[in-house]
């Protein structure tokens, strides 16, 4: 099977590509290697993929429609996994233009490439941030997402709507994933776990927003990969479970289904590192939400699978990777 993956040098894209390659599939990886965070980390991920039989990596920006179309036409993928995006709630306040370019223009170009190349299943990453000011919990895929609290969330919600229109107009089987706070080895340096571990090992204070009164549905990356892989083999059909009444399109939460208090998360990091955190308590950041909580009933119905890795096991796995990759003190 030929799989084209955008964002293949990114945290999630790397892990998903690795899974398909381990199964013997052909993977065409696309990444722009943008400097939003350490590009060397992205290069290191891609270098590991390049050691695998069946992988071909391509450096291009999704905003370059001509280059993307040429690659998709040559590759003729059966599955297109769109995982590239400008991520980060807080950065969207500082640099909103990056989100318009990557998440709207880039995603539109991916939709056009999917239409032109005739993929059998288009899968794309969304985010739990689209639930925004939703007052109910747990978050269910059918909840309204009309009240985004950040431009990042707004662009991802728009991407879902754009994908629905293409699924309807061109009959493209399409699955959107709403990811819930993914963490694990090879994670992003702008995410809380990475920042906390780095600061604590340097004996520096960690920034704790909303004075610690936050909760997240932390999802270990291996669990997410398993869910994505199972869904990839299940292209939606009109009238199917969770599908739109007007298109072979669905959106699926991928989370553990158990929000963890931020201070409890920090306690697990302290346990894994064997040291106490110095807390720099701060107010809530613009665009953030106090809690996320996934209803994973649809994922379970479709795939028979529900993420289950404990936060303790996930934090330990990340801490071991960090120590190995950066040569940090033994933990």
Q: Where are the beta strands (DSSP E) in 21-111?
A: 26-31, 55-59, 79-82
Burial of 22 (0-12, 13-18, 19+ CB in 10 A): exposed
Give me the residue label for tokens 């009959």.
Answer: 171
Strands 215-216 and 260-261: antiparallel
Q: How far apart are CA 78 and CA 76, in angstroms?
A: 7
Largest CA distance in the chain: 56
- What sign does the CA torsion over 82, 11, 145, 141 have? positive
User: Known catalytic residues?
Assistant: 152
**Residue 308 backbone phi and psi in degrees, to 5:** -145, -5
């Amino acid at each position: 099977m030929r799989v084209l993956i955008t964002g293949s040098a990114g945290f999630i894209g790397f892990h998903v590509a690795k899974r398909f390659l381990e199964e013997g599939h052909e993977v065409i990886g696309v990444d722009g290697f943008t400097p939003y965070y350490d590009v060397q980390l992205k290069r290191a991920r891609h270098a590991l993929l390049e050691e695998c039989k069946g992988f071909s990596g391509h450096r291009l920006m999704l905003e370059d429609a001509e280059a993307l179309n040429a690659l998709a036409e040559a590759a003729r993928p059966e599955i297109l996994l769109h995982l590239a995006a400008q991520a980060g709630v807080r950065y969207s306040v500082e640099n909103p233009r990056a989100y318009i370019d990557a998440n709207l223009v880039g995603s539109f170009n991916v939709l056009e490439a999917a239409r032109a190349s005739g993929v059998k299943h288009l899968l794309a990453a969304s985010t739990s941030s689209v639930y925004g000011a939703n007052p109910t919990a747990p978050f269910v895929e059918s909840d309204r997402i009309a009240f985004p609290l950040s431009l990042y969330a707004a662009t991802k919600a728009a991407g879902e709507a754009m994908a629905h229109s293409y699924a309807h107009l061109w009959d493209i089987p399409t699955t959107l994933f709403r990811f819930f706070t993914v963490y694990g080895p090879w994670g992003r340096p702008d995410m809380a776990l990475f920042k906390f571990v780095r600061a604590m090992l340097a004996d520096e204070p960690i920034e704790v927003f909303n004075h610690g009164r936050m909760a997240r549905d932390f999802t270990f990356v291996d669990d997410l990969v398993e869910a994505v892989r199972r869904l990839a083999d299940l292209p939606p059909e009109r009238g199917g479970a969770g599908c739109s009444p007007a298109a072979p399109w669905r959106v699926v939460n991928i989370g553990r289904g158990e929000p963890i208090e931020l201070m409890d998360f920090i306690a697990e990091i302290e346990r894994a590192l064997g040291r106490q955190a110095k807390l720099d308590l701060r107010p809530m950041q613009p665009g953030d939400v106090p809690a996320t909580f996934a209803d994973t009933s649809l994922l379970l119905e479709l795939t028979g699978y529900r993420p289950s890795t404990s936060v303790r096991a996930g934090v330990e796995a990340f801490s071991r990777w960090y120590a190995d990759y950066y040569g940090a003190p033994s933990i």
